[in-house]
Amino acid sequence: TEMGTLRTYTELRFQYDTNDTAAGYDTTGETSVNFAWIQLGGLRVGKDESFFTTWSGYSGNVINDDIAGGVGPYDTNLISYTYNGGAF
């Protein structure tokens, strides 16, 4: 588009369980939306990973996640803008 590249992304997860219980045959399932966003140029709106976790590579090699209490929410609803500032 005139305002930049238009992209969308959606990741859905489906799980179907057949658990044997004392009461008989139990079938349960689960559906989750992990990511769902739309991006126009550098503007992204939707559900995605938090920038507090991705900027440091999830802090796995930076700090001990268990001691520090983690690095933030791994997925969140967000409105973000990113840009390329060149090679400065």
Full domain range(s) for residue 47: 6-81
Angle at CA of residue 53, ends 76 and 31, nearest 5°: 40
pLDDT for 82 equals: 84
- Which region among 20-29, 34-43, 63-72 has the lowest average model confidence (pLDDT)? 63-72
Cα–Cα distance, 56 to 74 (Å, whole number): 12
Is 86 part of any domain? Answer: no
Q: Is the pLDDT of residue 5 over 60?
A: yes
For the stretch 25-61, pLDDT in tens is: 556 677 888 899 999 999 999 998 877 666 555 555 5
Is 24 part of any domain? Answer: yes
Cα–Cα distance, 65 to 86 (Å, whole number): 33
Please give the torsion angle defined by the CA atoms of residues 2, 8, 45 and 70, in that order, rounded to the nearest 10 degrees. -140
Is 16 part of any domain? Answer: yes
Question: How many domains are contained in the chain?
Answer: 1
